[in-house]
Amino acid sequence: MALFALCCTADIPSEKLNKFLHETYRNSSKMDCQPSLFLISSLNDLNASQELIASQTPVQPFSSPFLGQSAEDTAKLLQSHINKLPTSNLHPTLLVILDEESIFSDSGLIVQIKNSVVHSVRVHFDTINAELIRIMMITFDIKETQGLVGENGVFRTKPPDESKKGRPAPRKKLG
């Protein structure tokens, strides 16, 4: 299973990272999506000899190797490291960045490198995991997600309405 790198370009408190992972995994499980984020706490994490597994809570405090970098610099640095590896289950062109705004807005950036150009879209915490999987498997491009951003500049999906699951269908009116 492909994983997506989770990079921090700001000093994100571990409580906020734990909240993010909990929200994004809880919401995406309602959409039948598996946890698929791998927190990069050190560039040495990329040199692991075994297959990487999705990050889970609790996250311990760490100093990110991407502090202060732009989304473009982070994406290109990460891609160059992944491309040097003989094998990796990290997706080479899709990743998540939690930045300074993430601390205050409960949102992060989904970043895609396409044709050597870096594109990004701000997405609410509870939507990121499922949206990455949707982009990877269905649309292959974040442009659709960019077009669905709300008035506040953040994209957010709603999970299937739990209250309607398992209930009888409404009666049809005939004639």
The 10s digit of each residue's pLDDT in 23-74 is: 999 988 888 889 999 999 998 888 766 678 999 999 999 999 999 999 999 9
Is the pLDDT confidence value at 114 over 80? yes
The domain total for the chain is: 1
Round the average pLDDT of the chain to a whole number and report it.
88
pLDDT average, residue stretch 107-119: 95
Is the pLDDT confidence value at 86 over 90? no
Report if residue 135 sits inside a domain. Answer: yes
Report if residue 171 sits inside a domain. Answer: no
Catalogue the long-range contacts made by 131-136 (C-beta closer than 8 Å, 24 or more residues apart): 131/155, 131/157, 132/4, 132/36, 132/37, 132/94, 132/96, 133/28, 133/33, 133/34, 133/36, 135/94, 135/110, 136/2, 136/91, 136/94
Range name among 64-68, 135-139, 163-167 with the lowest pLDDT average: 163-167
**What local confidence, expressed as pLDDT, does residue 107 receive?**
95
- Which residues sit opposite 6 in a β-bridge? 39, 96
Report if residue 48 sits inside a domain. Answer: yes
Report if residue 172 sits inside a domain. Answer: no
More confidently predicted of 168 and 13: 13
Report if residue 96 sits inside a domain. Answer: yes
Report if residue 170 sits inside a domain. Answer: no
- Which residues sit opposite 87 in a β-bridge? none
- Burial label for 62, CB within 10 Å (0-12, 13-18, 19+), is middle
CATH number at 104 reads 3.40.50
**What local confidence, expressed as pLDDT, does residue 99 receive?**
97
**What local confidence, expressed as pLDDT, does residue 109 receive?**
97
- Parent domain of 15: 3-164
Sequence-distant (≥ 6) Cβ neighbours of residue 160 within 8 angstroms: 30, 31
Is the pLDDT confidence value at 157 over 60? yes
Report if residue 169 sits inside a domain. Answer: no
